[in-house]
Amino acid sequence: MSSLSGRFAGKVALVTGASRGIGFAVAERLVAEGAQVCITARKTEALEAAVESLGGKERAMFVAGKGDDAEHHAAAVTETIGAYGKLDVLVNNAGINPVFGPMIEQEPSAARKVFDVNVIGAVGWVRAAYDASFRQHGGAIVNIASIAGTAPAPGLGYYAASKAALIQMTQQLAFELSPNVRVNAVAPAVVKTQFARMLYEGREEEAASGYALGRLGLPEDVAAAVAFFASSDAAWITGQTLLIDGGTSLMRGLG
């Protein structure tokens, strides 16, 4: 990490859904490489603790709110620019999955909520950042999709469909916002977070057996790829989605 410690010096990032898990790991990585960050989530207490862990107000700030609230999007972007003078990077990590099981058994209201946060909310964050800064100054956007958006995912139907939409949206926005704004995505497999615990808790060894690299992912694995896409090292890359899956996609059809 020491050789990359200045890659985001003078840069400002906004990371949604970042009080814990992948979002927090992304914010931590960006701060380690020199960025100032604003993190968002719903719960103020968790955000306060996260900001403290990131180095306090000199390095990080927070704005609490709901991921599908347009007023929250605008306020977070405005407050970030007001505090740090600019905005260079947006990481769309906020996402929900309140239901598990066959799609046909789920209530339509739950499906609407998933898409409101995971897809429409993500576009709202892009719109807010673009209107306030990226339209004039350019920027980099990284969307956190999922391997579930690339193939059937038992029990995760609406969540998987929303992540498939996010992958397509990444390409669409990359096309529409070029040449000054780059838009890419990462699509992790199972990462050891509280959000994904039902997919591995109590049977981690069994779950990891389906991965060519022999383990589940860590938030830091995703954060490293996000930092690459957000940095000038990816200056000629846009509209791409990177699978971060420990080789599990290599194992499909085996066994």
Q: What is the pLDDT of residues 175-229, one digit of tens each?
A: 999 999 999 999 999 998 877 676 667 677 887 889 999 999 999 999 999 999 9
Q: 202: how many CB neighbours lie within 10 A of its CB?
A: 8
Any domain includes 253: no
Domain count, the chain: 1
Any domain includes 207: yes
**Structural domain range at position 171:** 2-247
Q: What CATH number corresponds to the domain at position 148?
A: 3.40.50.720
Any domain includes 82: yes
Q: Is residue 159 flagged as an active site residue? A: yes
Residue 14 is which amino acid? L
DSSP annotation of 131? I
CA 215 to CA 205: how far, in whole Å?
A: 8
CA 131 to CA 151: how far, in whole Å?
A: 34
pTM of the full structure? 0.94
Any domain includes 255: no
CA 243 to CA 183: how far, in whole Å?
A: 15
Any domain includes 192: yes
Catalytic residue among 84, 159, 200, 211: 159
Any domain includes 201: yes
Any domain includes 125: yes
In contact, 36 and 59? CB cutoff 8 Å: yes
CA 193 to CA 115: how far, in whole Å?
A: 21
**The length of the chain, given as a count of residues:** 255
Sole residue written with tokens 């956007």: 141
Any domain includes 43: yes
The pLDDT tens digits of the residues spanning 89-140 come to 999 999 999 888 999 999 999 999 999 999 999 999 999 999 999 999 999 9
